Structure 1
Amino acid sequence: MKKIFNLLNVLWTLFFSLLMIAPSAFAQEDSPDAMIKSVTEEVLSIVRQDKDIQSGNTQKAINLVETKVLPHFNFQRMTSLAVGRDWNKANAEQKKRLTEEFKTLLVRTYSNALTGYRNQTVRYRPTRMQAGDTEVVVKSEILQPGNKPIQLQYSVERQNEGWKVYDVVVAGVSLVSNYRSTFNQEVSANGIDGLIKMLVDKNQQNNPNKQ
């Protein structure tokens, strides 16, 4: 399980890098697979040339994720899926706190790993999509020299402002499902407020500005 979690760290880092582009560019693409492909090609070029990120500037990576990536995620849906059956136990304020803390956890965790990104490339598989579909799975493969391709699937949904990501499946492992067991255990032991506190504590530990 540790190996899978480490793999999720690396590949979610790559996934975040694929989406580091201004929101205006997304409006030019009407299909989710075309959007992801066009963003990928531009962003990989940017990341390879960014010496600050490559040298370990985590704060710069965080700033990039916060300004370029977050607008293209549905973090409330991601959080509700990660929390699972316990989501309905939370009131409106608790749901807001959970969403904000989970978003911060993902940004800080994978921005740190982003500094290790180098030369992975992406190959895309045909996307099956019918007219009027509002949810689509975009399939791709991560190619790494000397290793087998790793399957990477993006679950995206159409909203008024465009396509948004709500889950990623890496080598058969869902990002949101990967957190669910831990979250359920925490809620069972300490309630919704206990889960919020757990996320707050993790985010404080991962804060790059922590003295």
Structure 2
Amino acid sequence: MKTLVIWAISALMLVAPASAELIKDDNPYRLLEKVAEQTFQRIANERDMINENPDHLKVIVEDELMPYVDNIFASKKVLGRYFKDTSNEQRQAFYQAFTDYIVATYARAFTQYDESKHEVEFVNPKNVSPSDRDVTVETRVVENGRDPIRLNFRVRYDADSEIWKAYDLVVEGVSLLSSKQSEINAVIRSRGIDNTIELLNNKAQQPIRLDDEVDVPA
């Protein structure tokens, strides 16, 4: 359960509808804190809808979280050395499949989250200089009766959208990006890029259940 909760909290930073207004803040520490507060509040407000239709968690993830995730940058990192072996069409299909897969993964993780038990504390917020383009935001997940869990978010400035976006999460020293890269690269080696895209799409389309367990790296 502890591991599942970690990944539920991590979803707050990782992967807005066109009508939504983006949260803007030049300081990535303050930005992530605002995104976390807004997302947790929405989950609490829409708990009845989630209980009735767990797939609603996908909507929340897409609406509240994905605008602040550099999913294309993360997708390229996950492809790694296979990037040069794929066509532009395959890359675009992979970017979409990986993004949808992450949305579904986070939605499943949120089935383990209880807003009445868990809090996220931001550690030592810092000022950011105009030259900074990649920073680490340190947080702690706090639950009564348990030791705090270290979550460090790697965030980069996206000049195109003029907003800070998260692209990796390090949980107690373990990188989510590196773990997913190893996992997906193994599938590409054995099944090829097209079959990997199909597998990711199939996983993303599976319905969310409140008793879901999240498959996470050790």
1:125–1:139 contact (8 Å) kept in structure 2: yes
In structure 2, C-alpha distance between the alignment counterparts of 1:13 and 1:53, rounded to whole Å? 18
Q: What is the CA-CA distance between 1:108 and the residue it aligns to?
A: 1.1
Number of positions where the alignment pairs a residue of Structure 1 with one of Structure 2 = 202
Q: Who is 1:156 aligned against?
A: 155
TM-score (norm 1): 0.83
Unaligned runs of at least 5 residues, structure 2? 210-218
SS for the counterpart of 1:64 is helix
Bigger proportion of residues as helix:
1
In structure 1, C-alpha distance between the alignment counterparts of 2:187 and 2:120, rounded to whole Å? 37
Distance 1:25 1:102, change over 3 A: closer
Select the residue among 126, 143, 153 that pairs with 2:124: 126
Matched, 1:135 2:131: no
Distance 1:56 1:177, change over 3 A: farther
Residue type at the aligned position of 1:180:
Q
Q: What is the CA-CA distance between 1:136 and the residue it aligns to?
A: 1.0
Residue type at the aligned position of 1:163:
W
In structure 2, C-alpha distance between the alignment counterparts of 1:180 and 1:134, rounded to whole Å? 23
Q: Who is 1:167 aligned against?
A: 168
Q: What is the CA-CA distance between 1:52 and the residue it aligns to?
A: 2.2
In structure 1, C-alpha distance between the alignment counterparts of 2:112 and 2:54, rounded to whole Å? 10
2:39–2:65 contact (8 Å) kept in structure 1: no
1:56–1:115 contact (8 Å) kept in structure 2: no
Q: Which has the higher contact order (CA 8 A, sep 6+)?
A: 2
Residue deviations 1:154-197, cap 9 Å, x none? 11111132111111111111111112222222222232223212
Residue deviations 1:140-159, cap 9 Å, x none? 11111111111111111111
TM-score (norm 2): 0.80
Select the residue among 20, 23, 31 that pairs with 1:26: 23
Residue type at the aligned position of 1:122:
V
Q: What is the CA-CA distance between 1:88 and the residue it aligns to?
A: 2.1
Residue deviations 1:6-61, cap 9 Å, x none? 72x4323223346898863522x210001112232343333233322552632211
Q: Who is 2:9 aligned against?
A: 14
Distance 1:73 1:42, change over 3 A: closer
Distance 1:24 1:95, change over 3 A: same
Residue type at the aligned position of 1:139:
E
In structure 2, C-alpha distance between the alignment counterparts of 1:124 and 1:147, rounded to whole Å? 17
In structure 1, C-alpha distance between the alignment counterparts of 2:72 and 2:154, rounded to whole Å? 14
In structure 1, C-alpha distance between the alignment counterparts of 2:148 and 2:49, rounded to whole Å? 25
Residue deviations 1:108-143, cap 9 Å, x none? 122123133212111212245433111111111111
Q: Who is 1:75 aligned against?
A: 71
Unaligned runs of at least 5 residues, structure 1? none
Distance 1:53 1:10, change over 3 A: farther
Q: Who is 1:180 aligned against?
A: 181
Distance 1:188 1:51, change over 3 A: closer
Residue deviations 1:49-106, cap 9 Å, x none? 3322552632211111122222221111111222222222211111111111111111
